[in-house]
Amino acid sequence: MTARGVFYVHSAPPALSPHIEWAAAGVVGVPVSLEWADQPAAPGTLRAELHWEGRPGTAAGITSALRNWKLLRFEVTEDPTPGCDGVRYSFTPSLGVFTGIIGANGDIMIPEDRLRAVMANAAVGKTTLEHELDRLLGTPWDNELEPFRRAGDGAPVRWLHAAV
């Protein structure tokens, strides 16, 4: 079975670009060569985008390989496949990793146990329901990444097909 998705590097220091390519190649199993462009939202950094095909779980693998690299901002998506939901991972240095299960219509699907935990914490005053729902929907990550996403409009697109 083949999964498809997109790997967006929203900002990275130029010195990390070959290391990001090596890390992604280690996950997808074929050489990765990204087309790097200046990131206007963070002068002195680069951005890149890669459309990929590979095994289900590839997006999680790429995220795991890069999640401790504190100078990056990135997102990895994976479209749904039979028996697997779609997923989006977002990473920022200040927030860490966000994981969202994506439904067929593109909405974020929040599991029941996570909703129950949020309601319980809000009921005892540990947090507010609004704050926690925003986090479950990825709003803080979207707010931080949006300027970087907009700066990438019109960027070139590359496809990578991994051996499955």
Task: Please give the pLDDT value at position 141.
Answer: 97
pTM of the model: 0.88
Residue 151's pLDDT is 79
pLDDT beneath 50: ranges in the chain:
157-159, 163-164
Please tell me the predicted confidence (pLDDT) of residue 154. Answer: 56
Return the residue matching tokens 């697109």.
Answer: 157
Parse the chain into domains and list their residue ranges. 3-109+140-151
SS3 of 66-135: HCCCCCCEEEEEECCECCECEEEEEEECCCEEEEEEECCCCCEECCHHHHHHHHHHHHCCCCCHHHHHHH
| Cα within 13 Å of Cα(48), Cβ side | 22
Q: Taking all residues of the chain, what is their mean pLDDT, rounded to a whole number?
A: 91
